[in-house]
Amino acid sequence: MKWSVRFHPDIDHDLKQLGTAEARRILKVIRDGIAQGEPDKIGKPLRGALDGCRRIRTGDVRIVYRINGTEIVLVLCVGARRDDEAAYRRV
């Protein structure tokens, strides 16, 4: 099943902070793992204030997303693992 992916408006800022090469890699993970994959099965479920969200860790970067319904995935934030708390607070 192919999933429809929407991005939070702040994703552009997040990707610019990571740099061009890293941003391309992240977008490939989103395309291959989320849009064309099984986002409801990959990624680790988050708890607490982010209950209902999932995260994928790729290298030193985390992608936080939420599945809305059966066809829409909303990517909420992308950030370096060392900045987890700051990224999670923005969600």
Q: What is the pLDDT of residue 59?
A: 84
User: In sequence order, which ranges of 30-82 are alpha helices (DSSP H)?
Assistant: none
The structure's pTM equals 0.80
Question: Tokens 């849009």 correspond to what residue?
Answer: 35
Question: Per residue in 15-63, pLDDT tens?
Answer: 888 889 999 999 998 988 888 888 888 889 999 888 999 999 888 888 9
Q: What is the pLDDT of residue 44?
A: 92
Q: Domains (ranges, CATH) in the chain? A: 4-90 (3.30.2310.20)
Residue 49 contacts by C-beta under 8 Å, 6 or more apart in sequence? 88
| Residue 27 structure tokens | 């977008």
Q: Is the pLDDT of residue 13 over 70?
A: yes
Q: What is the pLDDT of residue 83?
A: 54
